[in-house]
Structures are given as structure tokens and as C-alpha cells.
Amino acid sequence: MSTIRLGDEAPNFTAQSSEGEINFHEWLGDSWGVLFSHPADYTPVCTTELGAVANYKAEFDKRNVKVVALSVDGVESHHGWIKDINETQNTTVNFPIIADEDRKVSELYDMIHPNANDKLTVRSVFIIDPSKKVKLMITYPASTGRNFEELLRVIDSLQLTAYHKVATPANWKAGDDCVVVPAVKTEDIPALFPKGYKEVKPYLRMTPQPDLK
């Protein structure tokens, strides 16, 4: 079983899915990716989660993010479950669900935690950048549904901070002021951040979000 840490390359794999065979790295291409696992098909909380993701598809597309789910059941089971998701969540599932019956991907990504359940995956989430590096990992217990607004917020932060010398403060959301990273000298701020900045403390400098017009 592998241990994945932030900054590691996301392990590649080839697996069957509800939309055919997927080679993970090839499927991602130049996109960002969200890989999220489910304990099993026909589970109630997961049904609501997959419906939510389908409804957020346009938001993920806008951010150049591909989403893919995983469950330890097979493709045929996935297709039946998708019908239930579409019916009960008033949506159309528009992303693949990986069939991981042999637990190969689950073990590759350390999604099975024996003290929680020795057979079923926990609710893991991995956000992966276009260079295939793992940028975020969150693990939820089986009883707690995920907050996809929060995942979109994190993606906004990751994409912003990847291209600008800023970090995002507590409870930040797109459009809020950002923190100038400590590596930037105060005398260099005006050239890098022409919108201006506020020095709260020498180590805490705030600036308007730099990529907004």
C-alpha cells in the first residue's frame, strides 16, 4: 500500500469505468483533476454527492477541471446506480465512475483504512494539477457527505496561487483580498501588485486578488 503526500505525482492507473477504459494520466491530459472515492454503489450519501457533482459540472469545466469518481463495485452496477442518481437527484451524471472491484486503485491511493472498514473505501478526495502533482487530499468518514462548494473554493485558491505570488487567508473566496507571500520583499510589492497593498504587520501584507480586472 502506498502513502501519498502533497507534491507527489498522482499514481497512474488503467481501469474500467462507466464511460469505458480510462488511463488516468492520459484522460487528465492538460486539465486539473478531482478523484473522489465512494464506499460502495447504492449508498445514500454517495448518491447525493454524485448528483451534486453532476450539477456542478459547468463550474468544474469553467476551471478546466475533470472529475472522476471511484467505487469498489463493477461497471454494470455503476450503470444501474447512475439511473437512480439521475432520478433521485434530478440530474444527469456526466463524468465517469471507476470500477475498482479488485481494489487496485483504492490501495494505490490508500483509500481503504482498516480501522474504519477493512473492505470499503473511505471518502477520499484528491485534487491533481496539470503536471499530475497531488495538490490537496481530504478524507471524510463514511457518515459525512462532502462539501463541493469548498472543493471549488480550494481549486480557485490553488489555481490563483500557482500563478501569482500570493496565498489565500482563512475563509477566502474568489474576489477577496490575498496575502502577499513572505518571499516577496516589501519594496518589490508595487511592481508585482500594482493594485496596491496594505501592511497589517511586516509579515502580513494584503493585496487585492491580482488576476481580477
Question: Among all residues, which ones are annotated catalytic?
Answer: 46
Which amino acid makes up residue 9?
E
Helix (H) or strand (E) holding 119: none
Pairing of strands 32-38, 14-15: unpaired
Q: Long-range contacts made by residues 147-150, C-beta under 8 angstroms, separation at least 24?
A: 148/49, 148/52, 148/53, 148/56
Cβ neighbours of residue 1 closer than 8 Å, sequence gap 6 or more: 107, 110
| CA atoms of 154 and 162, how far apart (whole Å) | 12
| CA atoms of 87 and 51, how far apart (whole Å) | 10
Q: DSSP letters along 131-162, please?
A: TSBEEEEEEE-TTS---HHHHHHHHHHHHHHH
Structure-block grid coordinates of residue 154: 480550494
Angle at 169 between CA 33 and CA 135, to 5 degrees: 20
